[in-house]
Amino acid sequence: MNDVLATDEDGLIRLQKLLAQSGVASRRKCEELMLAGEVEVDGEVVTRLGTKVDPRVAVIRVSGQRLPPISDHVYLVLNKPRGVVSTMSDPEGRRTLTEVLQEVRPSADSSERLFHVGRLDTDTSGLLLLTNDGDFAHKMAHPSYEVDKTYVAEVDGEVTKHTSETLLGGVELDDGPVAVTRVRIIAATRQKSIVELVIHEGRNRIVRRLLAQVGHPVRKLTRTELGPVDLGQLKSGQLRDLTLDELGALLDSVRM
């Protein structure tokens, strides 16, 4: 959120004004939400109109949903094209995230340093988060906080119900077992299948290794969701901002 708010000399702002300027609702509706006990600040219900808060640090919830703090940070969703390496620069001269960003954000500040949150291997397309919030990027990538990741894979051979049960039961790889949260067979023939997998981990090439282990090498792989964030209609190479709801949910997931 990059909104400029009119705070007082102590850096505080009236809560209903903050809610309204953040797009929650009109000022009057925000006051009604406060009076109805629907607004929390730092875990406490706030019903007194005129209460002031620090918009950069207060943990605010409206009807249970987290409202991200005001900040100068950028939080972006990229549909990474296949063939792009998940790095900002590459000594081998391969196409990087920086080049994709320059194509879709030509007017962006060239000094803005963005971090990719986790990574996708070069041959995998799909959802990747980019931010200049280093603390957020670090926590999102930390094993203690990893959120569910949804992938759609086109694989060799026919994936059967038995294969799904094997995946859900856990598969042992060279670097340890992998737990699969959900499996959905979208299409299956003797020659190839399309399956959707939800996993929690982010080890290197884990989905490809997992499916190869159960006899179904991957032909194409796309990450379609990361926690509450999904690609939706975002086309390959396109970019968008995280919504307030998405960012709020992710901040909660990493306890920020």
Residue 120 host element (H or E): none
How far apart, in whole angstroms, are the C-alpha atoms of residue 34 and residue 177? 48
- For the chain, the C-alpha Rg in angstroms (whole number) is 21
Burial of 113 (0-12, 13-18, 19+ CB in 10 A): exposed
| Catalytic positions | 121
The H-assigned helical ranges of the chain are 15-21, 27-35, 97-104, 134-141, 161-169, 206-213, 244-253
Burial of 144 (0-12, 13-18, 19+ CB in 10 A): exposed
At 218, give phi and psi (nearest 5°). Answer: -80, 135
What is the rounded end-to-end Cα distance, in angstroms, of the chain? 15
Q: Smallest Cα–Cα separation from 113: which of 101, 103, 121, 122?
A: 101
Q: What is the DSSP string of 43-93?
A: TEE---TT-EE-TTT--EEETTEEEPPP-S--EEEEEEPTT-BSSS--TT-
